Amino acid sequence: MFVLILAFGCVAAVLPALAARIGRGVFYVAAAVPAAAFIWGVGAYGQIADSGPLIEQAAWVPQLGLTLGLRFDGFAFLMLSLVAGIGVLVFIYAGSYFHAEPIIGRFAATLLLFSGSMVGLVLADNLLALFLFWELTSITSYLLISIEDEKTAARSGAMQALLITGMGGLAMLGGFVLLGEAAGTYSMAELLARPPSGAVVNVALVLVLIGAFTKSAQVPFHSWLPRAMNAPTPVSSYLHSATMVTAGVYLVARFTPAFADYSLWRPLVISFGLASMLIGAYRSLRQHDLKLLLAYGTISQLGLMMLLFGVGTKESIFAGCTLLLAHGIFKAALFMLVGIIDHQSKTRDLRKLDRLGAQWPVVAAAAGVVAASMAGIPPLFGFIAKEEALGALGETGFAWGVPVLIGVVIGSSFTVAYSARFVWGAFGPRPVSMIPHQGSVRNEAVGQQVPKPSKMFLAPVVVLAALTLLFGLFPSLIDPVIARAYASLVGVRAEDHLALWPGFTQALALSAVAIGAGFALFWWRLRVEKLQDSMPKVASAQRGYDRTVKGLLEGADAVTGFVQHGSLPIYLGVILLTMIVLPGVPLLSDGVMPDLWFADSPMQVVVGFIMIVCACAAAVARRRFAAVLLVGAVGYGMAALFVIQGAPDLAITQLLIETLGVGVFVLAFRHLPADFVRPKFRRSQGAQIAIALLAGVFVFLFTLFAIGARTEPSISGEYLDKAYSEAGGNNVVNVIVVDFRGFDTMGEIVVLAVAALGVAALVRAKRSPAEVEP
Amino acid sequence: MTPRRSVILDLCVQAEFHTLLLLSLYLLFAGHNQPGGGFAGGLVASCAFGLRYVAGGSSALSRSISIPATTFLGVGMLFAILTGCVSLLTGHEFLESAIFSADLMVLGTVKTSSVLFFDIGVYLVVLGMALLLLEQLGGADGTDPDEVQP
């Protein structure tokens, strides 16, 4: 499994170079990787039927006891087949969607990286590994939404998606850590087998749910999903309908058997899920951009899945698994259809599209099939999923079962209405909507002479439409897969079986009600629109997001303005005072004065005297250049002291540093006046002088006390002993620098390099202000 | 007022320049057993280029070296990191040293350690930093206010 995940990364690495040679053929190369993953999954599926889940482990950070565990079970297979199967189709589709744009190499590589992250996400058993892949999908999603980076809307949409899902991901990480610490293991399988208890678990679950809700675009975190529609359509079809947004649902599905009976779980998941289902479907009815219509529909469907898994009864989990698969199939196909329409006719506004169906019978038929599947119309797979859902919710046995069921039926009727709106809007005659056009867009019809899509372009859609029909007519084909997914979640074999004709049940009646009501809503769509218009505007999630971001930026500005006011004397004063006070207080209370002696040799006295004179002279020097030279002289004196003490290495380094330092100072000082500015004495300068004197005295005392503070024997003896025997060097200073403390040196040279680049950037910025100003 | 170029300084620097570079290399390679090392070596080399700058201004500096300073920084870091990674790949800890000795017939036995490569990295980074500062603060791009006229 590790090899599988790595294969995605390795192939992605060569795609950009390949794209430069073979153009959009690169998508077909990329498609081979998810295809391989799918084939591997099918093979491994046979194995787990015989011998239980496949487990692979690798040490990650052994010092911290972290193990990277992967686990392949029935539910992972269901998710993997969605991710890999739809992945293959999306890559083939993208091969026709794009022309020879320069971005395709980058695009194909990022999409493949996403695919690999998603495969990792569904295979991960270790919670931290899951988090890692989770964030990788967020990041690749960000890159994919903003792939056309010259578009402002794409960039801000990408940023919104990243901020919201990233925030949720962080909350989820917090939840994972709390759970992992409470359970003593980060393995999801072990955690779910023996769930921890206590108040901390409730907090952890809320945090995990925030992660799941943001990722699956649940109300009120849903605002990023419609804005993510600025991405190219293959991305919307793959990430933002079929796979990535179901990650939150996936997590809830994994957790629900173990945690459904905790006090907060059901109320939270069910209320958020139901709210998302209703609000998403309601908003979808108003959209005239086909892609946005589907985006709100996705929010609604995700809400239903969330709700089903959140209820957590055996039947509802079974229904949730079915809907997960059914939704992936029909929603990916619908997005691909929008992409085709957009690509061929250059619009996806259903007020402009006119009678496309007459020209494109095959497309229209495929669209009819998948949209009917979304609406839950027999004999399609979506119908079976919705039957299962309604059946499961009808027999929960909870007091709130009936209101939730009613809510779901209302949501389903909305779903029927927006499905009809989609098909009619795209392929039927106008008018579908009364919503006026804004701006200068003329109300012109698009529908005549639209070029037909190529067969290759259409093939993925047809495959998905055929699947949704096939699984609808012969549910026994897919039943074992769903049953195994269910069994690996719940731990017992499924008693339910998928069936096209379950007999005259309550669910069937409710389905009929939903379909009838949905068509009625569609029939009177113009009145429904008017009604929606007359509703008072309630709080919009988009505005909430905008305000939050604005508030955050303004807050940051205010803090920066307070902390960074730009006065050099105050900066220096604060730094020096902190340095004096923090170590100074314990120094005076606990410090031990060492035994003092005058000097080791007369040379020290001479050199020391010279240094003192130079230091004093530097403090009172009038000219900058003189001050620098005097400070340099103090440094040379220090080098002389090193020589006297028998430390040639230190002396060499000190000498060279001083030489170079003086040179650099001189270069920098050319830009300043030759003399120090000497204003008349003011009161504020009194404080400055006091701080400067205090700092000097402090450094002096600190050095003295530091010598006297040794309690352990010096480490230098050991270094001297081991320098030759272990590192093969006679020069112990050099051995320490490059070997014993090599890591420190590594850090230091990085700092050196960064500082040099920083100075270069500053100088350059000052030199040409016109070029750096935005 | 344009400062004139000092002939004496110019000639001295020309005579010293290569000697200083040789000295810096000596310090670099001798460092493991005698005073010196990558840091000191890098500083000596930096001083050599500093002298070039003092004598001839930034045009002399850019004539004496055509490789950009940032390349030194990058290659130096690469040397240091790769040294660490090689020991990691051979199953040791990051930056763990290994000692090689080679018999070079007439020249006798030469013994060295893998940290030499790390030290070369330090040398290059120090030199790169100094060159970058000279370039930027000294104005190698022709905006040097004190540009010395030959």
* Pairwise CB contact (< 8 Å): B115 & A739: yes
- The pLDDT tens digits for A631-674 are 999 999 999 999 998 888 889 889 998 988 888 888 777 777 77
Residue with tokens 């025997």: A725
* Pairwise CB contact (< 8 Å): B122 & A745: yes
Tell me whether residue A347 is in a domain: yes
The last residue of a domain, from among A460, A493, A523: A523
Tokens of B53: 């700058």
Q: Which residues are A58's β-sheet partners?
A: A68
A110 CA to centre of own chain: 14
- The pLDDT tens digits for B118-149 are 889 999 999 999 999 888 877 644 455 454 44
Tell me whether residue A339 is in a domain: yes
Judge whether residue B150 has pLDDT over 50: no
Residue with tokens 């003086």: A662
Q: Which amino acid is at A514?
A: A
Q: Where do the domains of chain B lie?
A: 7-138
**Residue A560 shares a structural domain with residue A462:** no
- Encode A524-567 in three state secondary structure: CHHHHHHHHHHCCCCCCHHHHHHHHHHHHHHHHHHHHHHHCCCC
Mean pLDDT of A480-496: 88
Tokens of A356: 């496309």
Return all residues near A125 (Cβ < 8 A) that are at least 6 apart.
A55, A69, A70, A71, A187, A188, A189
* Pairwise CB contact (< 8 Å): A759 & B136: yes
Half-sphere exposure (Cβ direction) of A142: Cα atoms closer than 13 Å: 14
* Pairwise CB contact (< 8 Å): A742 & B115: yes
Tell me whether residue A549 is in a domain: yes
Q: Residue A772: what pLDDT?
A: 42
* Pairwise CB contact (< 8 Å): A749 & B76: yes
> Which of A81-90, A177-186, A455-464, A702-711 is predicted with the least confidence, judged by mean pLDDT?
A702-711
CB contacts, 8 Å: A657 with chain B: 43
* Pairwise CB contact (< 8 Å): B125 & A753: yes
Q: Residue A365: what pLDDT?
A: 92
Instruction: Answer with the residue of higher pLDDT: A771 or A316.
Output: A316
**Residue A302 shares a structural domain with residue A396:** yes
Residue with tokens 């929603």: A331
Q: A70 in the Ramachandran plot: left (φ > 0), alpha (ψ -120 to 50) or beta?
A: beta
Mean pLDDT of B51-68: 83
**How close B91 comes to chain A (CA, Å)?**
15
With CA atoms as reference, the chain A residue closest to B29 would be A734
Q: Residue A323: what pLDDT?
A: 95
Please measure the distance between the N-terminal and C-terminal CA atoms of chain A and give it in whole angstroms: 48
Please measure the distance between the N-terminal and C-terminal CA atoms of chain B and give it in whole angstroms: 14
* Pairwise CB contact (< 8 Å): A663 & B121: no
* Pairwise CB contact (< 8 Å): A727 & B115: yes
CB of A667 within 8 A of CB of B46? no
- Interface contact B46, partner A, CB < 8 A: yes
**Residue A334 shares a structural domain with residue A354:** yes
With CA atoms as reference, the chain A residue closest to B54 would be A663
- A454-472 in b/e form (b: 16+ CB < 10 A) is eeebbebbbbbbebbbebb
**How far apart are the C-alpha atoms of B81 and A427, rounded to whole Å?**
60
Q: Residue A773: what pLDDT?
A: 40
Q: Residue A448: what pLDDT?
A: 63
Q: Residue A440: what pLDDT?
A: 42
**How far apart are the C-alpha atoms of A119 and A80, rounded to whole Å?**
6
CB contacts, 8 Å: A746 with chain B: 80-81, 84, 95
Q: Residue A441: what pLDDT?
A: 46
DSSP secondary structure letter of residue B112: E
**How far apart are the C-alpha atoms of A744 and A752, rounded to whole Å?**
12
Question: How many DSSP H helices and E strands does chain B contain?
Answer: 4, 2
Of A652, A728, A760, the CB nearest to B40: A652
Q: Residue A544: what pLDDT?
A: 86
- Interface contact B50, partner A, CB < 8 A: yes
**How close A761 comes to chain B (CA, Å)?**
9
CB contacts, 8 Å: A729 with chain B: 32-33, 113, 115
Return all residues near A310 (Cβ < 8 A) that are at least 6 apart.
A252, A256, A260, A265, A266, A268, A269, A270, A273
Tell me whether residue A338 is in a domain: yes
Q: Residue B75: what pLDDT?
A: 93
Q: Residue A774: what pLDDT?
A: 39
Tell me whether residue A15 is in a domain: no
Sign of the torsion formed by the C-alpha atoms of A235, A236, A237 and A242: positive
Q: Residue B1: what pLDDT?
A: 40
* Pairwise CB contact (< 8 Å): B47 & A660: yes
Judge whether residue A586 has pLDDT over 50: yes
> Dihedral through CA A760, CA A762, CA A763, CA A769, nearest 10?
130
The helix or strand, by DSSP H or E, that contains position B29, with its residue range, turns out to be helix B7-30
Short-list A135, A148, A167, CA closest to A545: A167
- Encode A105-171 in three state secondary structure: HHHHHHHHHHHHHHHHHHHECEHHHHHHHHHHHHHHHHHHHCCCCCCHHHHHHHHHHHHHHHHHHHH
Mean pLDDT of A239-260: 92
The helix or strand, by DSSP H or E, that contains position B101, with its residue range, turns out to be strand B99-103
Judge whether residue A449 has pLDDT over 80: no
Q: Residue A523: what pLDDT?
A: 87
**Residue A391 shares a structural domain with residue A519:** yes
- The pLDDT tens digits for A348-382 are 888 888 778 888 888 999 999 999 999 999 889 99
With CA atoms as reference, the chain A residue closest to B128 would be A753
* Pairwise CB contact (< 8 Å): B32 & A746: no
> Which of A289-298, A302-311, A390-399 is predicted with the least confidence, judged by mean pLDDT?
A390-399
List the Cα angle A352/A353/A359 in 5-degree steps.
Answer: 150
Mean pLDDT of B37-59: 87
Mean pLDDT of B29-40: 84
**Residue A315 shares a structural domain with residue A366:** yes
CB of A446 within 8 A of CB of A347? yes
CB of A2 within 8 A of CB of A125? no
**Residue A468 shares a structural domain with residue A515:** yes
Which pLDDT band holds residue A445 (cuts at 50, 70, 90)?
low
Instruction: Answer with the residue of higher pLDDT: B141 or A391.
Output: A391
- The pLDDT tens digits for A712-747 are 788 778 888 877 777 777 788 888 888 788 888 889
A23 C-beta neighbours (distance < 10 Å), count: 16
* Pairwise CB contact (< 8 Å): B37 & A750: no
> Dihedral through CA A530, CA A532, CA A533, CA A535, nearest 10?
130
**How close A107 comes to chain B (CA, Å)?**
29
* Pairwise CB contact (< 8 Å): A742 & B118: yes
Residue with tokens 């300073």: B69
* Pairwise CB contact (< 8 Å): A738 & B115: yes
Mean pLDDT of B93-100: 71
CB of A291 within 8 A of CB of A357? no
Q: Quickly list DSSP for A331-353.
A: HHHHHHHHHHHHHHHS--BTTTB
DSSP secondary structure letter of residue B6: P
Residue A32 Cα distances to A37, A112, A186, A243, B141, angstroms = 9, 10, 33, 18, 51
CB of A335 within 8 A of CB of A237? yes
Mean pLDDT of A467-482: 92
Which of the residues B16, B26, B33 would you substitute to probe the A interface, choosing the one with the greatest number of A C-beta atoms within 10 Å?
B33
Contacts across the A-B interface (CB distance below 8 Å): 138
Q: A449 in the Ramachandran plot: left (φ > 0), alpha (ψ -120 to 50) or beta?
A: left
**How close B106 comes to chain A (CA, Å)?**
23
Judge whether residue B84 has pLDDT over 80: yes
- The pLDDT tens digits for A124-174 are 999 999 999 999 999 999 999 999 888 899 999 999 999 999 999 999 999
**Residue A463 shares a structural domain with residue A542:** no
CB of A485 within 8 A of CB of A45? no
Judge whether residue A629 has pLDDT over 70: yes
* Pairwise CB contact (< 8 Å): A728 & B77: no
Q: What is the ipTM of this complex?
A: 0.85
Mean pLDDT of A544-557: 91
Mean pLDDT of A245-262: 93
Q: A460 in the Ramachandran plot: left (φ > 0), alpha (ψ -120 to 50) or beta?
A: alpha
Q: Which residues are A761's β-sheet partners?
A: none
Tell me whether residue A293 is in a domain: yes
Give the domain range for residue A390. Answer: 275-435+450-523
The radius of gyration of chain B's CA atoms, rounded to the nearest angstrom, is: 19
**How close A720 comes to chain B (CA, Å)?**
12
Residue with tokens 């929960």: A396
With CA atoms as reference, the chain B residue closest to A743 would be B95
With CA atoms as reference, the chain B residue closest to A741 would be B95
Q: Which of residues 75-104 of B touch A (CB under 8 A)?
A: 76-77, 80-81, 84, 94-95, 97, 99
**Residue A410 shares a structural domain with residue A334:** yes
Q: Which of residues 99-138 of B touch A (CB under 8 A)?
A: 99, 111, 113, 115, 118-119, 121-122, 125-126, 128-130, 132-138
What total of structural domains would you count in chain A?
A: 2
Three-class SS state of B109 = strand
The helix or strand, by DSSP H or E, that contains position A640, with its residue range, turns out to be helix A624-645
Q: Which residues are B4's β-sheet partners?
A: B149
Tokens of A139: 């990041």
Judge whether residue B97 has pLDDT over 80: no
With CA atoms as reference, the chain B residue closest to A752 would be B129
Tell me whether residue A754 is in a domain: no
Q: A376 in the Ramachandran plot: left (φ > 0), alpha (ψ -120 to 50) or beta?
A: left
* Pairwise CB contact (< 8 Å): B32 & A729: yes
Which pLDDT band holds residue A30 (cuts at 50, 70, 90)?
very high
**How far apart are the C-alpha atoms of B75 and B78, rounded to whole Å?**
5
pTM higher than 0.95: no
Tokens of A174: 């917090």
List the Cα angle A649/A651/A653 in 5-degree steps.
Answer: 70
